[in-house]
């Protein structure tokens, strides 16, 4: 079906175009979040095009090759919508945008080496939208951005050449993404979503579109900046609480208190929300989201010292893992220099293939600085070059060739491991940073064990 001009500020026209499936959708940025989003829109019957600057990703998709193998449920949808010609990908933003009524932006919002948020992808696409967006289109930003970014920057970039005027022939809103990698289909079809529009009418229109595609609860916010504030508030809440528990866990180690037992009991209190300590907080969201709010604080001359402290604690946790490791080496009178240490898990969180800002990278670097040889096993990164190391293909023969092992990621596979395997290691040193090994079981196996926060 070819493009037809739909006035995206008319609820009646939008509803009609959804029912007749004439509304055309373009998703710019088809990575971890954007591709499943595009597939969901295509599955609902709307012709959807994905735009990405990554040529090999676009080629792969158009060859019917699904790139997100660790995202359950989407592979079947992918082949289905490709075969029905409901979804295709392109590197040409002008084609995607100028043939669509609804443009979703799922672009990366990382930070630079100084922890300053980097909105360059959104800014570059905003300037392309100013050239190619058809009048009466609706743009929805799903990327995680600071409150005020739409109102203070995005709108003026899109309307810069005066071809379009906000609220007249161009409309914008936000629907921040809150899915968990590895569970995106479940989250898209279950979790409530926040909606904010340039005005109330646009919020209602966005709600009707997302209700049509996802059928989840849509929480209407008074404007875009409030929706983005909520998104950051919830994620940064987690970053701070993980820091709190991690710092407590270090103290509990000294007191001989097991943090796991503390947390299990604390959960019984009706208003306690559990967070777990660990080797650090990585991924594309939490660390960046904290720095986004800190950036907002700088811009508005406000103080958010609790977030600053939380970040410092979480960023120091890899160092604590090294302290535990050195302590274990000392106990058995072995030198870490020239020892071989197995890192179990490099993903930033369990059961996903994602190493963005993973604490594993820092731990590996620190071990190498101490002169240790590092080998890696991760079920999601087998036999690949990662952090300058060729990862192992399987676990079977590794244990006899290493002196120590550090569980950095709590992948399910490691929970099934028989503890006797670790007994094959030369120094029998096991460090568990994710609370998955019971200290008493490790002791019964005669391992030299250190559990982060396990007293």
Ligand X SMILES: NC(=O)c1ccc[n+]([C@@H]2O[C@H](COP(=O)([O-])OP(=O)(O)OC[C@H]3O[C@@H](n4cnc5c(N)ncnc54)[C@H](O)[C@@H]3O)[C@@H](O)[C@H]2O)c1
Residues found near ligand X in the complex (CB under 6 A)? 28-34, 51-54, 57, 106-109, 121, 124-125, 143-144, 177-179, 181, 284-285
How do beta strands 102-105 and 137-141 pair?
parallel
The smaller minimum CB distance to ligand X, of residues 125 and 155, is found at 125
Q: What is the nearest approach in angstroms of ligand X to the Cβ of residue 354?
A: 7
Q: What is the nearest approach in angstroms of ligand X to the Cβ of residue 52?
A: 4
Q: What is the nearest approach in angstroms of ligand X to the Cβ of residue 399?
A: 33
Q: What is the C-alpha separation between 208 and 221, in angstroms, rounded?
A: 14
H/E segment holding residue 104: strand 102-105
How do beta strands 340-344 and 373-377 pair?
parallel
Q: What is the nearest approach in angstroms of ligand X to the Cβ of residue 126?
A: 10
The smaller minimum CB distance to ligand X, of residues 68 and 437, is found at 68
Q: What is the C-alpha separation between 377 and 158, in angstroms, rounded?
A: 46
Residue nearest to ligand X (CB): 31
DSSP 130-188: HHHPPTTEEEEE-S---TTHIIIIIHHHHTTTSS--BTTTEEEEE----PPTT-HHHHH
The smaller minimum CB distance to ligand X, of residues 208 and 356, is found at 356
Q: What is the nearest approach in angstroms of ligand X to the Cβ of residue 231?
A: 8
Helix 305-331 × helix 359-369 angle, to 10°: 40
Q: What is the nearest approach in angstroms of ligand X to the Cβ of residue 38?
A: 11
The smaller minimum CB distance to ligand X, of residues 78 and 252, is found at 78
Q: What is the nearest approach in angstroms of ligand X to the Cβ of residue 425?
A: 34
Residue 25 phi/psi, 5° resolution?
-120, 140
The smaller minimum CB distance to ligand X, of residues 51 and 321, is found at 51
The smaller minimum CB distance to ligand X, of residues 106 and 314, is found at 106
CA separation, residue 302 to residues 70, 118, 149, 295 (Å):
40, 20, 17, 10
The smaller minimum CB distance to ligand X, of residues 10 and 128, is found at 128
CA separation, residue 281 to residues 5, 238, 393 (Å):
46, 10, 26
End-to-end Cα spacing for the chain:
64
The smaller minimum CB distance to ligand X, of residues 108 and 453, is found at 108
The smaller minimum CB distance to ligand X, of residues 128 and 208, is found at 128
The answer to whether the CB of 345 falls within 8 A of the CB of 408 is yes
The answer to whether the CB of 164 falls within 8 A of the CB of 181 is no
In 3D, which of 354, 320, 340 has the Cα closest to residue 432? 320
How do beta strands 193-197 and 170-174 pair?
antiparallel
The smaller minimum CB distance to ligand X, of residues 55 and 418, is found at 55
H/E segment holding residue 432: strand 429-432
Q: What is the C-alpha separation between 315 and 318, in angstroms, rounded?
A: 7
Q: What is the nearest approach in angstroms of ligand X to the Cβ of residue 356?
A: 8
Q: What is the nearest approach in angstroms of ligand X to the Cβ of residue 306?
A: 22
What percent helix, strand, coil does the chain show, rounded to 5?
Answer: 45, 15, 45
Q: What is the nearest approach in angstroms of ligand X to the Cβ of residue 405?
A: 28
């Amino acid at each position: 079906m070819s493009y037809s001009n739909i006035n995206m500020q008319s609820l009646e026209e939008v509803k009609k175009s959804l029912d007749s499936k004439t509304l055309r959708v373009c998703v710019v940025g088809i990575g971890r979040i954007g591709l499943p989003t595009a597939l969901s829109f295509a599955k609902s019957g709307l012709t959807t095009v994905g735009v990405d600057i990554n040529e090999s990703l676009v080629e792969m998709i158009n060859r019917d090759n699904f790139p997100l193998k660790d995202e359950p449920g989407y592979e079947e949808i992918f082949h289905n919508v490709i075969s029905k010609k409901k979804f295709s990908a392109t590197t040409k933003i002008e084609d995607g945008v100028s043939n669509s009524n609804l443009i979703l932006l799922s672009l990366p919002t990382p930070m630079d080496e100084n922890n300053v948020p980097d909105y360059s992808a959104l800014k570059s696409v905003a300037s392309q939208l100013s050239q190619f967006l058809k009048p009466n289109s609706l743009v929805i930003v799903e990327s995680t951005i600071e409150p005020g970014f739409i109102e203070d920057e995005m709108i003026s970039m899109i309307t810069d050449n005066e071809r379009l005027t906000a609220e007249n022939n161009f409309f914008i809103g936000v629907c921040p993404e809150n899915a968990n990698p590895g569970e995106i289909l479940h989250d898209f079809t279950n979790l409530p979503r926040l909606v904010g529009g340039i005005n109330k009418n646009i919020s209602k229109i966005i709600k009707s579109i997302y209700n049509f595609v996802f059928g989840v609860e849509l929480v209407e916010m008074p404007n875009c900046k409030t929706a983005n504030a909520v998104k950051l508030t919830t994620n940064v809440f987690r970053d701070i609480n993980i820091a709190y528990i991690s710092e407590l866990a270090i103290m509990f180690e000294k007191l001989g208190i097991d943090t796991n037992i503390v947390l299990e009991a604390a959960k019984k209190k009706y208003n306690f929300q559990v967070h777990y300590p660990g080797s650090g907080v990585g991924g594309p969201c939490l660390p960046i989201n904290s720095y986004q709010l800190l950036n907002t604080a700088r811009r508005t001359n406000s103080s958010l010292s609790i977030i600053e402290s939380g970040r410092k604690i979480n960023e120091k946790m890899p160092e604590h893992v090294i302290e535990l490791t050195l302590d274990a080496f000392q106990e058995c009178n072995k030198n870490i220099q020239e020892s071989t240490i197995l890192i179990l898990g490099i993903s930033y969180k369990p059961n996903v293939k994602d190493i963005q800002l993973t604490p594993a990278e820092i731990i590996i670097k620190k071990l190498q600085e101490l002169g240790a040889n590092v080998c890696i096993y991760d079920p999601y990164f087998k036999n690949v070059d990662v952090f300058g190391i060729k990862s192992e293909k399987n676990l079977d023969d590794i244990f006899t060739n290493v002196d120590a092992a550090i569980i950095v990621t709590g992948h399910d596979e490691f929970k099934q491991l028989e503890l006797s395997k670790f007994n094959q290691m030369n120094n029998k040193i096991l460090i568990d940073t994710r609370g998955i090994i019971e200290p008493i079981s490790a002791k019964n196996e005669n391992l030299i064990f250190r559990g982060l926060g396990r007293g």
